[in-house]
């Protein structure tokens, strides 16, 4: 079976990573960025990545040269001619994306799939400006694209079934774990993961525990690879805050997704995390790191509160048919490295226990943020488990 030509628009970290994945899967790739400096930098970085893989013995020199040779680095969109799939990975701005997709439609033939790697914009809205919106789909990779196994495939209401099937087959052939998701704000991962950050920030704001203690509870007791504050510092507080704000807005200001003033203030102060040298933690050279309070009772309280909020979000995503139960659990383990799927975790914790915890929070705070999903109430009533 002959491999289609793949186009990637945007040569930032994400676009360059996607281009690498397509090239190492045997495709001829055109990586386009209008900015000459960005495209040159992407070329240099990829060369270094390949050299490192060869040094470590993960790739042979021949294979590394083949992969590099398959990628054409360009500043001209016209070079996309003849592509079977184009993945856009540019700025999260709907007007910019509209202009770009209209231009793409005028360059490629009618069988070319046009995909967006957006993490927060509606696929339906992106495709709305095209003469043929049925060819538009969301193909959402996670950073870094060559290492993270998960890819969310998001058909819009206009997307044809054939395009959905083809897109999924192509990405499956790249050794990725694909999950189909409904075109709703945040898709699966960015929606379900909101309480990991939001509830941790809330616990801090209430003075229950400091950043180090909350992170300790989630990693040592919960088995998460990174605590919420370390992870937000890693992602960047500016980026994480912007995503939270856009999800909140996209859900018509549902209180469950309300952003935090603590995070906003950190972003405003320029405490962006690792990249700025300071976030919730200090990354300067001789900084003294906070020590967590390793009180197990307190730790369990923190873990339980964040966990039931995550489970509630996962149950609600299932309730609203955002994805299948298998898809949701797969997305959270493969997309953000959760120690186990949240719905399997709910079964282990006891769905009745999850509901009780949420009901107590809801009664105490009287905030919609803590309202339990109807899915959990139904399952308790019917004595069912997710699996």
pLDDT in tens, 344-383: 999 999 999 999 999 999 999 999 999 999 999 999 999 9
321 in catalytic set: no
What's the pTM?
A: 0.94
Tell me whether residue 190 is one of the annotated catalytic residues: yes
Could you say which of 25, 116, 117, 119 is catalytic? 119
Model pLDDT for residues 274-292, shown as the tens digit of each residue: 999 999 999 998 888 889 9
Residue ranges of domains in the chain, CATH in brackets: 6-180 (3.40.50.720), 191-382 (1.10.1040.50)
What pLDDT band is residue 120 in, cutting at 50, 70 and 90? confident
Q: Is the pLDDT of residue 1 over 60?
A: no
- Select which of 27, 120, 122, 152 is catalytic: 152
pLDDT of residue 278: 95
Query: At residue 137, does pLDDT exceed 90?
Result: yes
pLDDT at 167: 98
Catalytic-labelled residue, pool 27, 116, 117, 140: 140
Which of the residues 83, 116, 122, 190 is marked catalytic? 190
pLDDT computed for residue 246 by the predictor: 86
Q: State yes or no: pLDDT of 323 exceeds 90.
A: yes
40 is catalytic: no
Residues 6+ positions from 365 with CB-CB distance below 8 Å: none
Each residue's pLDDT tens digit, 166-200: 999 999 999 999 999 999 999 999 999 999 999 99
Average pLDDT, the chain: 96
**pLDDT at residue 243 is higher than 90:** no
105 carries an active-site annotation: no
Share of the chain above pLDDT 70, in %: 100
């Amino acid at each position: 079976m002959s491999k289609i030509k793949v186009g990637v628009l945007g040569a930032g970290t994400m676009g360059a990573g996607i281009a690498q994945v397509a090239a190492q899967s045997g495709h001829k790739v055109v990586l386009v960025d209008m900015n000459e400096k960005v495209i040159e930098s992407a070329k240099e970085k990829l060369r270094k990545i390949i050299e490192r893989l060869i040094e470590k013995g993960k790739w042979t020199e021949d294979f590394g040269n083949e992969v590099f040779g398959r990628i054409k680095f360009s500043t001209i969109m016209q070079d996309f001619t003849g592509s079977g799939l184009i993945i856009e990975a540019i700025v999260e701005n709907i007007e910019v994306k509209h202009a770009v997709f209209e231009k793409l439609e005028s360059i490629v033939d009618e069988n070319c799939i046009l995909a967006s790697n957006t993490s927060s914009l509606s696929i339906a809205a992106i495709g709305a400006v095209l003469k043929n919106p049925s060819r538009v789909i969301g193909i959402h990779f996670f950073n870094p694209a060559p290492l993270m196994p998960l890819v969310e495939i998001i058909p819009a209401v206009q997307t044809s079934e054939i395009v959905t099937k083809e897109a999924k087959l192509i990405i499956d052939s790249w050794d990725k774990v694909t999950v189909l998701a409904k075109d709703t704000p945040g898709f699966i991962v960015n929606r379900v993961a909101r309480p990991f950050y939001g509830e941790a920030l809330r616990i801090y704001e209430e003075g229950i525990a400091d950043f180090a203690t909350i992170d300790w509870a989630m990693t040592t007791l919960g088995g998460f690879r990174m605590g919420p504050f370390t992870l937000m510092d890693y992602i960047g507080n500016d980026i994480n805050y912007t995503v939270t704000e856009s999800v909140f807005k996209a859900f018509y200001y549902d209180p469950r997704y309300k952003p935090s003033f603590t995070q906003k203030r950190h972003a405003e102060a320029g405490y962006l995390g690792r990249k700025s040298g300071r976030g919730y933690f200090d990354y300067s050279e001789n900084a003294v790191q906070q020590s967590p309070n390793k009180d197990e009772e307190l730790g369990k309280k923190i873990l339980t509160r964040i966990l039931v909020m995550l489970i509630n979000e996962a149950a609600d995503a299932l309730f609203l048919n955002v994805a299948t139960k298998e898809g949701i659990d797969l997305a959270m383990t493969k997309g953000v490295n959760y120690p186990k799927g949240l719905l399997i975790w709910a079964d282990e914790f006891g769905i009745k226990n999850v509901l009780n915890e949420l009901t107590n929070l809801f009664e105490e705070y009287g905030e919609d943020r803590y309202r339990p999903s109807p899915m959990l109430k139904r399952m308790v009533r019917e004595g069912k488990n997710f699996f």
